Structure 1
Amino acid sequence: MRFTMPTLFAKPDRESGLDQPLFGAADFGKDFGLLPREKIELMVRRKMILGREALAEDQVQPASLDLRLGPRAFRIRASFLPGVGNSVEDRLQALVGMDDAIDLEGKGAVLERGCVYIIPLIEHLALPKDISAVANPKSSTGRLDVFTRLITDHSQVFDRVARGYEGPLYAEVSPRSFSVRVRKGARLNQIRFRRLNSQQFERTHFGADEKELFRRHSETPLVDRELTRQELCDGLPVHVGLSAEPMDGIIGFRAQKHADILDVDRVAEYRWDEYWDPIRARPDRRLIIDPDEFYILASKERLQIPPDLAAEMVPIDPAMGEFRVHYAGFFDPGFGAGRNGQPSARAVLEVRGYEVPFFIEDGQVIGRLVYEKMSEPPQSLYGEGEGSNYQGQGLKLSKHFRMD
């Protein structure tokens, strides 16, 4: 059955292109890189970011924008990418019928564990040719093991928005450990905007090089340990911490297989032990990652993100281990900033095993932190606002759980 998806956004009344830029030089300044909160807010005012509803003030983070689920969801048999020349709407019309639409208004709906859903988002983009975007799940989404990716029309990859893109946004959502209740307006992923100069249009890597990172670390430490320039060649290596913690020796958590439904909008409402099994330190400081199990662990080192940089956790080479780490890998400027310029926060690691059991050991490299330059530091850093749930964190579950 063919149907028409709801039109959520009016097409912006402008012509895109570098010959008629939406911003003048005074809007952006002379620098390129990830755009801070103030520039994202300016993008909203200039209708580069549009929506059926006005953005809430707390949607805009120091270097990113929270995206909101729209009023309907569509359960599909398998994930897909539309590919060049195809829209997500056309693919949905071929895969599902009108009766399959799930209403997210009011009380919302339950997204079942193990199923895949496509949800049109409230936000819509109309980018100029010198701005691209990249998305990640929010930290709380990743810690719930809700696999979430951004899709755009004509895309051949997830979580990437081509420069100059004009069109709707969609979230692919697949709960892996817990069935979750969501409703219109829920925020599962976030998007960052990158301003490019003409020499960067075809680049895919924007990380700071080892020389720059080594200099930064010598001035203000990025982590609470010594670093060599050589180990920074692909970003900052992050090691897993499996030695005893003050919290009853707990070094991690493993998701329970048959827990109750969890509402993503309820904060500090759930007992942690009804959803998670604690993992305590072993004398040999090892842990076996079992296939198809989900773990919350923490880095051995504490870290901080300088005001003029942002960072993303990227996986290690798959040849180094039978697991995936960190669904939600974005760190805002100011994350982990402690007293006297010292790093204060551990990176929480979301780990899922692959096909075979795999030993990991205390201090083993489990990911890399890639730093990227901001076009300018945001005026308000992570940790300075009310929405900074994970500043100064150690091992910590998502904000939905209480630890009493």
Structure 2
Amino acid sequence: MEQASERERLFDGLLERSLPEPRAPVKGSFARTGILPSQALKSLIAGGEIRAAPEITVDQIQPASLDLRLGKVAYRIRASFLPGPNATVRDKLSELKFHEIDLTHGAVLEAGCVYLVPLIEQLNLRATIAAFANPKSSIGRIDVFTRLIADRQDSFDAVEEGYSGPLFAEICPRTFSIKVRYGSRLNQIRFLRRVGQQLDADERPGRVRDRHLREIHSDVGLVEGEAAIREGLNLRISLTPAVPSGLVGYRARRYAGVVDVDEVGVYEPDQFWESVHLGADRRLVLDPHEFYILASKESVSVPPAYVAEMAPFDPLIGEYRVHYAGFFDPGFGYAEGKVPGAKAVLEVRSLDIPFILEDGQIVGRLVYDRLTEIPDQLYGERIGSHYQAQGLKLSKHFKQNVT
């Protein structure tokens, strides 16, 4: 009981500044508004709200998200699509599929093609829980564009409250062809608990507003030094050359080999990536449609009571896209009483025209959400996390390349 009380006291202290005004108690396992942590995900699985055959394994459960697994077949389809509010995914699939690919023994998904794969996991959510998804970090870093689709939904990567039905992954490898198989994990999903009526229909329940974000930074430090906070934590690009290598990032090589998404630390970086070096002006011209791995100037932190997510790119700051895989788990870059210790590695693509990035330019922002409670596991070495304390780093598939 003492341990439970201490845990609750710590949680209340961390959330004190960002909780809404108290409301009447809500019946059920999850009484707060916010993102569900790992122990709550286990409860959803035990209660059949997340179900799968074969059963979900412990290592799929992350501090605040669940890894989703590919099913046994992939469908090569003509184009991306959404089912809309009056149709299922399979209703549309029958009109759009070219052919089926058996994934039971592994298969290559070709760059530039679009595929749809039914996932092993299915949902049967209560009326107060919604979900949203993202590519896993390692998948975004190899330029694989993958999104979640659910029946009768009119947006990607979103599942409405009370949803009951199957899940699908749309997969489009952009630069490298990839090898996947039954059980491969490309997407991850978070679950959001709503309590009572949302005060602002345009704002996600549990979202941390700027005023509270500044107070959290003052208490625990979201970045080293001063934080640029405006509609989230703003991040700047680092084009300061590493010493002594002079490296600032990587540009993907076209027509390289196939990347097996389930392999770790086996590929030579030089076969897939060109190193990017800059002169004294610290300026990088992004070539149209080329894919770059760069890093933030700031080392960032996600305290245990929160999660973060990279916000969608803003065309007002330039015609380029930053970060395909946007989930940051509780504990990322966090060590109590220490300076934040993990860069945000950014997947960057210029769109139709060349675009100049300069050292220190704002390129994206992290938005923070609170958890309903502190998770029973945090991001880091204890659960085999690959990117804790990272600098500029390629995906886990490549041999070690930390700078």
TM-score, normalising length: structure 2: 0.90
The aligned counterpart of 2:107 is 109
The equivalent residue for 1:221 is 221
Gaps of 5+ in 1: 1-23
- Give the counterpart letter for 1:61 in structure 2: Q
Partners of 2:313 and 2:320 within 8 A in 1: no
- SS for the counterpart of 1:58 is helix
Please name the residue that 1:184 is paired with: 182
How many aligned positions are there?
375
The code of the aligned residue for 1:131 comes to I
1:309 touches 1:371 (CA, 8 Å); kept in 2? yes
Give the match's secondary structure for 1:133: strand
Tell me the CA shift for residue 201 of structure 1.
9.2
Q: State the Cα distance separating 1:225 from its structure 2 match.
A: 2.0
Q: Is 1:310 paired with 2:307?
A: yes
The aligned counterpart of 2:22 is none
Distance 1:245 1:288 in 2: 18
Cα drift, residue 105 of structure 1: 0.2
Q: For residue 135 of structure 1, report the CA deviation from its aligned partner.
A: 0.2
Structure 1 counterpart SS, 2:176? coil
CA contact (8 A) 1:238 1:369 kept: yes
Amino acid at match of 2:152: H
Instruction: Return the alpha-carbon distance in structure 2 between the equivalents of residues 167 and 247 of structure 1.
Output: 53
Q: Distance in 2 between matches of 1:397 and 1:233?
A: 29
The 1:88/1:316 distance shift into structure 2, 3 A limit, reads: closer
Tell whether 2:159 aligns with 1:161: yes
Q: Does 1:135 align with 2:136?
A: no
Q: Distance in 2 between matches of 1:247 and 1:334?
A: 30
Q: CA offsets, 1:211-234, max 9 Å, x none?
A: 10111111111001213xxx4230
Offset, 1:340: 3.0
Shift of 1:96: 2.5
Q: Name the residue aligned to 1:16.
A: none
2:197 corresponds in structure 1 to 199
Amino acid at match of 1:366: V
CA shift for structure 1 position 314: 1.2
* Corresponding residue of 2:253: 256
Determine if the alignment matches structure 1 residue 245 to structure 2 residue 239: no
Cα distance in 1, alignment partners of residues 266 and 39 from structure 2: 33
Residue 77 in structure 1 maps to residue 78 in structure 2: yes
Specify the alignment match of 1:171 in structure 2.
Answer: 169
Is the Cα contact below 8 Å between 2:32 and 2:194 reproduced in 1? no
Shift of 1:341: 2.9
Out of 326, 329, 334, the residue aligned to residue 331 of structure 2 is 334
Q: Quick one: distance in 1 between partners of 2:88 and 2:58?
A: 30
Instruction: Summarize the Cα distance change of 1:247–1:93 in structure 2 as closer, same or farther, 3 Å threshold.
Output: farther
Letter of the 1:373 partner, please give it.
R
Tell me, in whole angstroms, the C-alpha distance in 2 between the residues paired with 1:126 and 1:246: 52
**What percent identity do the matched residue pairs reach?**
51
Partner SS, residue 138 of structure 2:
helix
Cα deviation, 1:36-61, whole Å, max 9, x if unaligned, reads 00000110000000112111110000
Cα distance change of structure 1 residues 133 and 204 upon mapping to structure 2, 3 Å threshold: farther
* Equivalence for 2:54: 53
Q: Distance in 2 between matches of 1:234 and 1:202?
A: 15
User: Which 5+ residue runs of structure 2 have no aligned equivalent?
Assistant: 1-24
